[in-house]
Amino acid sequence: MSKFLGTVRRNDLEGGHWQLVAENGTEYVLDVEPGEAALADGARVEIDGTVDRNVLSFAMTGPTLKVKSIRRQ
């Protein structure tokens, strides 16, 4: 499991999904429970999770980050 720091963004492509724009500029599609309280467009967060590059998604905006926990900064 790794830590990821960045900003949450809402993307409306293909019905909508949440993304993390990491501090290094990498964009991840967030695999997170619906209604997660820390999800707000523009929120600075720290995420514990793993990148799963084998997942296919309609989002097409980056690799999938499977979220274990998320905290606002």
How far is CA 5 from each of CA 13, 15, 54, 56, 57, rounded to the nearest angstrom? 23, 25, 22, 23, 22
Q: Is the pTM of this model over 0.75?
A: yes
Is the pLDDT at 64 greater than 90? The verdict is yes
In this prediction, residue 6 carries a pLDDT of 98
**Model pLDDT for residues 5-21, shown as the tens digit of each residue:** 999 999 888 778 899 99
The CA distance from 31 to 52, in Å, is: 10
Give residue limits of the domains in the chain: 2-72
How many angstroms separate the CA atoms of 73 and 50, rounded? 19
What is the CATH architecture assignment of 2-72? Beta Barrel (2.40)
Tell me the per-residue pLDDT of 53-62, one tens digit each, with 9 for 90 and over: 887 666 667 8
Q: Which segments within the chain are labelled E, that is strand?
A: 2-11, 17-22, 27-31, 44-52, 64-72
